[in-house]
């Protein structure tokens, strides 16, 4: 028995650890493919980790081909999500606008846009004047150019989790929130069971989709998942009167970004002084730097009050790219984690990849470069379009 009175299944074909967007998408994909007895566990409510703290951005403007392909596939799912899953996700295709203020970043984005176009993404380099039309609140001083893709945008992460969770359950998956994993039992290099607060679940396959909390889970089976939790903070302004339509705007040089959120704006920025750790409290230390970036790039916002805000965790790897694969050395441990801030937006496609890894099929995209072993072999594949 579990403390809520639920009876834990004694057996599962596969246990997914992590009930954020990545976990529920994987649970749905597996159950929809006919895998019986799919069980997902999470130590808290579904989507209560990084997913619920995400800024909700969905985009295909990346520098790495595989990331672009994962994002394109995911954007297609988000576009049809309401029809497919019966869950409205408030998708706003306002486009992503990257503001560029150095010749190096302009050259880099020109290269990236060429790769994106090659993979069917309608991104393009645009003039500073056009950027100002797409994002009327910006001050263009010092800008050289911008990159824009009209099919990018933002949606509501919690709704995506709800949609996938409901669909996974309808397909027969068991989703068990508030049931933390406490260990993995192995016998002769094979997984035998997952231990949880509520009891033992016999299984021969574990999928780790635990985001910032993944490293210790890998450690239970001797697999190094080099994922570091890093706090990122988001603020939402009070209503902005006469707020014009605006693209999801990113000042690439500073990482200051904003997009419309109801009658106000959601805004954020990375903090280079932030230190790793599971810190979910809000801190004011980053505000002076944020204020500086706002004063320079969107001075109109300086008069706007802040209504609310929160802190969440990025799950960062050494090269800011994901860890996706099947671990060697232990029989069947599959992982999809370490997305360094773009896990939510890639979750639909990665769920399909996880399904294929489980079923021994070839995924639609080659994820072998995301193997967690790449750091031990000192080859990495850096993703440059990180915000």
Q: What CATH number is given to the structural domain containing 275?
A: 3.30.9.10
Distance separating alpha carbons of residues 84 and 193, to the nearest angstrom: 34
Per-residue pLDDT of the chain (387 residues; tens, 9 = 90+): 344 456 899 999 999 999 999 999 999 999 999 999 999 999 999 999 998 888 899 999 999 999 999 999 999 999 999 999 999 999 999 999 999 999 999 999 999 999 999 999 999 999 999 999 999 999 999 999 999 999 999 999 999 999 999 999 999 999 999 999 999 999 999 999 999 999 999 999 999 999 999 999 999 999 999 999 999 999 999 999 999 999 999 999 999 999 999 999 999 999 999 999 999 899 999 999 999 999 999 999 998 999 999 999 999 999 999 999 999 999 999 999 999 999 999 999 999 999 999 999 999 999 999 999 999 877 666 777 666
Domain boundary among 316, 333, 362: 316
One domain for residues 184 and 220 = yes
* Prediction pTM value: 0.95
Query: Domain range for residue 175?
Result: 14-53+158-227+319-377
Question: Is residue 310 included in any domain, yes or no?
Answer: yes
Residues 246 and 305 in one domain: yes
Domain limit, last residue, from 316, 343, 369: 316
Note the pLDDT tens digit of each residue in 150-180: 999 999 999 999 999 999 999 999 999 999 9
Are residues 169 and 309 both part of a single domain?
no
Q: How far apart are CA 369 and CA 379, in angstroms?
A: 9
Quick one: 344 and 211 in the same domain?
yes
User: How many domains, the chain?
Assistant: 2
Write down the mean pLDDT value for the chain: 94
Question: Is 75 part of a structural domain of the chain?
Answer: no
- Cα 177 to Cα 115: distance, rounded to the nearest angstrom: 40
d(CA 89, CA 82): 7
Q: Which of 316, 336, 354 is the last residue of a domain?
A: 316
Query: Is residue 103 a part of any domain in this protein?
Result: yes
Both 333 and 300 in one domain: the answer is no
Residues 232 and 312 in one domain: yes
Q: Tell me if 313 sits within 8 A of 211, measured CB to CB.
A: yes
Q: Are residues 312 and 238 in the same domain?
A: yes
206 and 188 inside one domain:
yes
Q: Which of 264, 259, 273, 247 is nearest to 308 (CA)?
A: 264
In this prediction, residue 55 carries a pLDDT of 87
Q: Are residues 233 and 307 in the same domain?
A: yes
The pLDDT tens digits for 203-244 are: 999 999 999 999 999 999 999 999 999 999 999 999 999 999
Whether residue 246 sits in one domain with residue 141: yes
- Closest CA relative to residue 315, chosen from 224, 209, 234: 209
Are 306 and 328 in the same domain? no
Same domain, 165 and 311: no
Let me know if residue 254 belongs to a domain: yes
């Amino acid at each position: 028995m579990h403390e809520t009175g639920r009876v834990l299944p004694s057996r599962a074909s596969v246990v997914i650890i992590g009930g954020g967007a990545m976990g529920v998408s994987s649970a749905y994909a597996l159950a929809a493919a006919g895998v019986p007895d799919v069980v997902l566990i999470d130590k808290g409510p579904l989507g209560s980790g990084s997913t619920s703290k995400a800024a909700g951005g969905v985009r295909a403007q990346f520098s790495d081909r595989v990331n672009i392909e994962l994002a394109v596939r995911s954007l297609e799912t988000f576009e049809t999500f309401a029809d497919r899953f019966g869950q409205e996700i408030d998708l706003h295709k306002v486009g992503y606008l990257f503001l560029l203020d150095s010749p190096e970043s302009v050259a880099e984005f020109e290269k990236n846009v060429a790769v994106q176009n090659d993979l069917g993404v309608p991104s393009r380099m645009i003039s500073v004047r056009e950027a100002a039309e797409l994002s009327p609140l910006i001050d263009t001083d010092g800008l050289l150019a911008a990159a824009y893709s009209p099919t990018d945008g933002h949606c509501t992460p919690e709704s995506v989790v709800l949609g996938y969770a409901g669909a996974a359950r309808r397909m027969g998956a068991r989703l068990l929130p508030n049931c933390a994993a406490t260990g993995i039992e192995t016998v002769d290099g094979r997984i035998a069971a997952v231990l949880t607060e509520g009891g033992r679940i016999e299984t021969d396959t574990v999928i780790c989709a635990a985001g910032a909390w993944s490293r210790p889970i890998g450690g239970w089976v001797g697999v190094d998942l080099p994922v570091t939790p890093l706090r990122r903070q988001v603020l939402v302004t009070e209503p902005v009167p006469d707020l014009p339509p605006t693209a999801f705007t990113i000042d690439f040089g500073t990482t200051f970004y904003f997009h419309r959120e109801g009658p106000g704006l959601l805004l954020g920025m990375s903090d280079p002084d932030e230190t790793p750790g599971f810190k979910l409290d809000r801190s004011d230390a980053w505000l002076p730097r944020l204020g500086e970036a706002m004063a320079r790039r969107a001075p109109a916002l300086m008069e706007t009050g802040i209504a609310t805000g929160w802190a969440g965790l990025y799950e960062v790897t050494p090269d800011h790219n994901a860890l996706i694969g099947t671990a060697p050395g232990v029989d069947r441990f599959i992982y999809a984690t370490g997305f360094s801030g773009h896990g939510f937006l890639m979750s639909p496609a990665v769920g399909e990849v996880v399904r294929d890894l489980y079923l021994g099929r070839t995924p639609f995209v080659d994820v072998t470069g995301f193997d967690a072993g790449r750091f031990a072999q000192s080859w990495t594949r850096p993703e440059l379009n990180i915000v």
